[in-house]
Structure 1
Amino acid sequence: MDKFYLSEINIYPIKSLGGISVQSAFIEDKGLQYDRRWMLVDEDGEFITQRKHFQLSLLQVQILNNVLTVSHKTDANQNISFDLEAQTGSSIPVKIWDDDSTGIEVSHEVSEWFSHFMNMKVKLVRMPIDEKRLVETPFATNNEVVSFADGYPTLLIGQSALDGLNEKLAEPILMDRFRPNLVFTGGAAHIEDQFEVFKIGKVEFKAVKPCSRCVLITINQQTGNKGQEPLKTLANYRNVNNKIMFGQNLLHKGSGLISVGDEIHIETWK
């Protein structure tokens, strides 16, 4: 029987910007600590996404000593920093897909920096700690909540899935195209499709829904350039009801620390 081990933990503090690879992370009720707790919105409060604004892939995020820094991957002169607790205090209604939620603007200065970068009026908002954005039914089982992520607290992908895809591509791609929170080693390609309930450390996870992929995975996260791959190739073997599936959305019970190298203990299979 194969054994499965966590090989990557990634958080994406600002939705649609670059991620941070960490060795350990704390799982909270909304998912990994700091993951998608901030988001860019337009003047109507609608979320800004890399699906439409490819240039967001060029913004890298770093957290150090309770300060979040955003910097341009190719232009060192473009950067801005703010305290993790920074906020103006005034909340505004925001919208992610069909969900209505609430955000608090970080600061006018930060919003102006992003507006200049985007060449459009935007605000950077933070999710209030007490905000309860519910996971969609019928997949939620216990009123689970989620951050500003698309719909679920955590996304899991096996390294074997990417390796299998890269064998079919003329030019291999990196895992960052798929923006997973958790990556693991072991098993055949897409073995995560068969996971149901499993534990990492003391936290119990349940794979509730395959992740449907969009144009975002065709954006090179290092250059911001968009192509046809890997959607074109994936359409040949990962198409389910006209949706391209890659990875598993997870719900979880409890909280606790997880670390790279932790074993994934499968309790039940689909």
Structure 2
Amino acid sequence: MTSDQHSLFVTELAIYPVKSTRRLPMQQAKVVTTGFAHDRRWMLVDPEGKFITQRQHPKMVHIVAQPDEKGMVVSAPGMETIQIFQPEPRHRFEVTVWKDVCAALDAGDQAAQWFSEYMGFNCRLVYMDEGCQRPVDQRYALTSDLTSFADGFPFLLTSEASLADLNGRLDQPVPMERFRPNIVINGLDAFAEDHWQRIRIGSVEFRVSKACTRCIMTTVDTRTGIKGKEPLQTLANYRRGEKGVLFGMNLNHDNEGVISVGDPVEILDSLQSTV
């Protein structure tokens, strides 16, 4: 580790047990095949099996899911808290996440009724077990790389310095949770992560696969569930890439392990070019 890396460390870790629901902060997280344990292993789908997100339904930001040994406990405003059990691997059906099709497990009628009542339309909850495998886009990954129901990659990393740079350009600053990262780091200049190729956190090595293209979900106020125009509008003025507005980096991992808040981040390989 070079002298300029000694202050680079993890400041936040988070998972999102049900895709597109509220952030669950962690002090320590286990890295498994698909990313962090319990991260986006559950997902809401419409009757045709298509994934449902905050993009169209901002009220999902108020759903709180807490994994436990049985499955998870879920709560939301105006709803009774429910215990949802991890389904048995019996009947599978196809669900769609973007262009990917996976054979998921249905969480049952009780869970479907609870979520349908909260969302205001018919939907079902599905679960990704070990028999439901989703490869990462092969343009940016190894053939063995898998992910959960996340948009595309096992991990999203952001930096406090990059957020501070953005907030310095906004009339009203936004919290990091708008960007839904798994790993937040601090200790280097804003957007230094653009140049990384490989890093190590604790005993886990990561490949920095591509910059993350941001969508309208970043404009959802996590306290109110109301959409606005920022920070996407401002980011578009100075962080636009070939495929969209960029903030944060997508990661794949080479091994399993455990990482914690406070762990040092070691840069193993980096580029000098910009995004």
Matched position secondary structure for 1:109: helix
- Percent of counterpart pairs with the same letter? 37
What residue in structure 1 maps to residue 82 of structure 2? 80
Give the structure 2 partner of residue 29 of structure 1. Answer: 33
Q: Report SS of the residue matched to 2:184.
A: strand
- 1: distance between equivalents of 2:164 and 2:41? 30
Structure 2 counterpart SS, 1:248: strand
1:242 CA displacement = 5.5
Alignment partners' CA distance in 1, 2:8 and 2:147: 26
Match of 2:53 in 1: 49
| Cα displacement (A) at 1:236 | 0.9
**What is the TM-score when the length of structure 1 is the normalising length?**
0.95
Mapped pair 1:63 → 2:67:
yes
1:104 corresponds to 2:108: no
Q: Please name the residue that 2:235 is paired with.
A: 234
1:12-27 paired onto structure 2 within 5 Å? 12-27=16-31
Deviation, 1:78, is 3.8
| Alignment partners' CA distance in 2, 1:46 and 1:87 | 21
1:184 is aligned to 2:188: no
Residue identity matched to 1:256: G
- Asked if the contact 1:88–1:105 (Cα under 8 Å) also holds between the matched residues in 2, the reply is no
Match of 2:11 in 1: 7
Question: 2:20·2:60 contact (CA, 8 Å) conserved in 1?
Answer: yes
**Alpha-carbon RMSD:** 1.4
What is the distance in 1 between the residues matched to 2:185 and 2:135? 27
Of 35, 38, 43 in structure 1, the residue corresponding to residue 42 of structure 2 is 38
1:119 alignment counterpart? 120
User: How many angstroms does 1:130 deviate by?
Assistant: 2.3
Counterpart CA distance in 2 for 1:39 and 1:265 is 33
* C-alpha separation in 2, matches of 1:151 and 1:238: 20
State the Cα distance separating 1:62 from its structure 2 match.
2.0
Q: Tell me, what secondary structure is at the counterpart of 1:227?
A: coil
Structure 1, unmatched stretches of 5+, are none
Q: Report the 3-state secondary structure (helix = DSSP H, G, I; strand = E; otherwise coil) of the residue aligned with 1:104.
A: strand
Supply the distance in 2 between the matched residues of 1:238 and 1:66 (Cα, whole angstroms): 43
- State the shift of 1:250 in Å: 0.3
- Aligned partner of 2:226 in structure 1 is 225
Secondary structure at the aligned position of 1:177 is classed as helix
Aligned residues of 1:89 and 1:105 also touching (Cα < 8 A): no
2:254 equivalent in structure 1: 253
Change (3 A) 1:220 1:87: farther
1:94-141 per-residue CA deviation (whole Å, 9 max, x = no partner) reads 000000101111121011110111111111000121222111121112
Whether contact under 8 Å (2:201, 2:263) holds in the other structure is yes
